[in-house]
Structure 1
């Protein structure tokens, strides 16, 4: 048998030692930079434990707590507007569809109006919850963008922009931001202007809306199609998300890169994809049916009732005429 030279023996020992080397975990300890507090620029010694705030290392412990509270505000602020949403859906769509008459539908609107237009109650049911929902959503998005920039080590402005606000906004959120100015215009025309012109909105009802549509049919038909569609899609998408059906009304695009599901035909992956497709069709089908039903009553019945008459119509003309910026077209 051929004997190994000393150099070959050393190489053999090295190979054996490398084969028998026990794997050691990668050191994933946090960097000294993550232990810096506000106003501190000197890294702390390794043996000194980081100070804790709100039960977590500062400053991200408090950020986590704030984010949790903001998530709660965003979710529970949808409850009061949902009650109003159901009542308004019945008053402006279902009841006109059943009665096929504006005069026959007006008493039902007047019957429920004190429920959500009582002094002080309107702001508790609508104004404060809607503002809370919007502000908390924007704050949460900014917190998440900051966390992403920190986790992925974004250094330049271009890198931070890639991880910032809009590039990662889902269609569900986009419908919400698109809906905000539409709600503002709806409130301005139907609530603010009656107070400014006549000192109250007691004379504003389905006839007032029908009168405005008859005066400017192109503008108001486009407006209500967009308004109703965005509202229904946002409400349905939001509530199904709270219940665990997260589709955000946008079908996930298939990608051939970065996903094992695109390459592996495991039954669990196929079942998950089937279930996701089914949920997508159910949620968007519900939203489409709801929007179509609402528009059938709002535009099919109310929108075709025509202009009012007499002194009441003159007052409505003045309200529409005094809407800022667009009053001359209404």
Structure 2
């Protein structure tokens, strides 16, 4: 009896010892990246992936690498226009506010004009970076929307419309797409038309802008109000995003009613909300102050200077009347 009872006991002890001596099996803590299309791994690594309805060569880059590349284009293309933005803000807002006179402010505009209107330099500072910024943003948004539709299996038109990128604009994107045609109109009036009529824009300055506002005060006051506000908010919000302060791009995170986070109220969550609120007030306060200063100088000083006189005013009238499409309104 002793030998028969000892066998099950010895077997149990060996079983326990063997379970304790087992080496732990490795566990993969890395969850698949659905945005990078790693949820369903593909066996053909070198096969070109289809993006936006056409075959895009990988060039050694995975889809999430394309996101990083396009995001880099979108980010660094804002650096040259920011330099112009600062100079233009000083010439059309700060200096007129200090001098309180358009003729006294004109020489400062002429001093900085060769910096960004030199032959070839203007396109490197403004034209190409702005086009790169807009195109890279559209392509990046289109790629992500197509990936979202494939990820969630959108098959019908109604399902695709819910996942499409057009209705999902953040405040930053809305101000940018609103700003694009306004920049085009501003360039058409101040750069393209003088180049077509006179061969250059040497005669275009603060007096030219004041003359146009005096000719069509309702149109130009509304235009510059929207143009300046959208420009300042887009630039300030964009730079805040590059610095990690996602105020104009962050989406609201809704806490479920049954979650422990909402019931317990962790202190770190309250601190995060306070930091976000502080950043929101700081970024929007800077944007509001910048827009107010710019409008005070552009419309308060330049906009109230009135029409020009003599041959200079006749030349400006000719330029405004020859603006394509909207010349009759100006």
Q: Same fold (TM over 0.5)?
A: yes
**Residues 243/123 of structure 1: CA separation in 2 closer, same or farther (3 Å cut):** same
RMSD, aligned CA: 2.8
Which structure 2 residue ranges, 5 or more long, are not aligned?
A: 1-26, 50-55
The 3 A distance-change label for structure 1 pair 235 and 258 is farther
Aligned counterpart for 1:52 among listed residues 18, 37, 45:
45
Output the CA distance in 2 between the equivalents of 1:35 and 1:285. Answer: 47
1:86 maps to 86
Q: After superposition, give the CA deviation of every residue in 1:190-231 in whole Å (9 maximum; x if it has no partner).
A: 001111111110000000000000000000000000000000
User: In the TM superposition, what whole-angstrom CA distance separates every residue of 1:84-139 from its partner, at most 9, and x where no partner exists?
Assistant: 00000000000000001111100000000000000000000000000000000000
Correspondence 1:115-264 to 2 at 5 A = 115-248=115-248, 252=252, 261-264=261-264
Contact 2:241–2:249 (CA<8 Å) still a contact in 1? no
Pairwise CA distance, 1:256: 5.7
State the distance in 2 between where 1:172 and 1:219 align. Answer: 25
Classify 1:212/1:286 alpha carbon distance in 2 versus 1 (closer, same or farther; 3 Å): same
- Who is 1:9 aligned against? none
Indicate if the aligned counterparts of 1:54 and 1:62 stay in contact, CA closer than 8 A: no
- Give the TM-score normalised by structure 2: 0.81
* Structure 1 residue 253 displacement after superposition: 7.7
How far did residue 264 of structure 1 move? Answer: 4.0
Unmatched runs of 5 consecutive residues or more in structure 1: 1-23, 37-49
Say whether 1:273 aligns with 2:305: no
- 2:319 alignment counterpart: 319
The 3 A distance-change label for structure 1 pair 246 and 294 is same
Alpha-carbon distance between aligned partners in 1 of 2:140 and 2:252, rounded to the nearest angstrom: 23
Contact 1:233-1:249 within 8 A present in 2 as well: no
Contact 1:249 1:283 in 2 (8 A): no
What is the Cα deviation at residue 167 of structure 1? 2.2
Distance 1:151 1:199, change over 3 A: same
Q: Distance in 2 between matches of 1:322 and 1:211?
A: 15
